[in-house]
Amino acid sequence: MVLGRFFNRVSPETYGDQLIAKAEELYDLAKRQNPTGDPHELLALTWIGMMAGFGGVKGVSGEAQTILAFSETMQFSCIPFPGNARAFALHFLYKNNPEIISKVAKFSSEYEKLMGPIHRRIQHGTLREECRKYNPSSNLEHLLGPM
């Protein structure tokens, strides 16, 4: 069963809560399967799992899917756990069902709270340091340029 169709049968708030719970569940699964994985790697695996539940990205697989997963999750990997998984899930919710964010204020408020420090770091040019702090063994140069 495709997750998107299942979630569409409930209220917007329940849909959002269940989607966030699913992302956290997939992140926990990735962590159990990759106990030494950096948050960025775990979030990329979570993204792949979430996309599979929604039918995937048409025409994207293999290495291209991996690159897309890492690029879609980089900024969330700079937030300490468990906020990283929640911020990613809220972003995923927005990209797949933006009307829910406008209908349920708690989702946009939480996203702004989690992502505010990251957005400030982007503005001040200090995101690299934050990413390195939480992802010491990840190769972030392909996304951020030379460190």
Using one digit for the tens of pLDDT, what is the confidence trace for 22-40? 999 999 999 999 999 999 9
Where in the sequence is the domain holding 109, given as residue range(s)? 3-140
- Please report whether residue 147 resides in a domain: no
Does 139 score more than 90 pLDDT?
no
> Residue holding tokens 């917007």?
12
- Please report whether residue 68 resides in a domain: yes
- Please report whether residue 18 resides in a domain: yes
- Please report whether residue 145 resides in a domain: no
Domain count, the chain: 1
Listed in sequence order, the DSSP H helices in the chain are 3-7, 12-33, 39-53, 62-73, 83-96, 98-103, 105-124, 127-134, 141-144
For residues 61 and 68, the answer to whether their CB atoms sit within 8 Å is no
- Please report whether residue 46 resides in a domain: yes
Listing DSSP states for 62-83 in one string gives HHHHHHHHHHHHTGGGGS-TTH
Q: What is the pTM of this model?
A: 0.83
Using one digit for the tens of pLDDT, what is the confidence trace for 50-108? 998 888 777 777 888 889 999 899 999 999 989 999 999 999 999 988 999 889 999 99
